[in-house]
Amino acid sequence: MKIGILALQGDYLKHEQLVLKLGWDCVRVRYKKDFSSLNGLIIPGGESTTLTKLLKATGLFVPLKEFAETHPILGTCAGLILMSSESSDTRVSPLGLLNIKVERNAFGRQIHSF
């Protein structure tokens, strides 16, 4: 089993530690080519507006959507916000992977999310 973790921003290291603890292979996804051998993907928590900007700047927005058509995706915190079909924050460009609307409940330092 090879799981990718979107590693542009956010808490990808904690997710990586857990995937490795399960005995699975793990790939930090930063480029389109990183999707090629994966069985699934984790979009970690972080800051959803920053992740939106980085997905677009790196050209990963469309490849991620295409990958999700045939592979399982897990989103935590900001990852779930990105997976939604609609966000109350207009700075977020949802991937439209889940038929849900999300609303950010607060702003603050990521360390307070744990």
Per-residue pLDDT tens over the stretch 104-113: 766 666 555 5
Could you tell me the residue ranges of all domains in the chain? 2-113
Tell me the CATH class for 2-113. Answer: alpha beta
The alpha helices in the chain, defined as continuous H runs, are 12-21, 48-57, 61-68, 78-83
Share of the chain above pLDDT 70, in %: 91
Task: Supply the pTM of this predicted model.
Answer: 0.89
When the pLDDT of each residue in the chain is averaged and rounded to a whole number, the result is 92
Tokens of 22: 């399960």
Buried residues in 73-90 as b, exposed as e (16+ CB within 10 A) = bebbbbbbbbbbeebeee
| pLDDT confidence of residue 114 | 47
Q: Is residue 94 within 8 Å of 104, Cβ to Cβ? A: no
CA pair distance 3, 73, nearest whole angstrom: 10
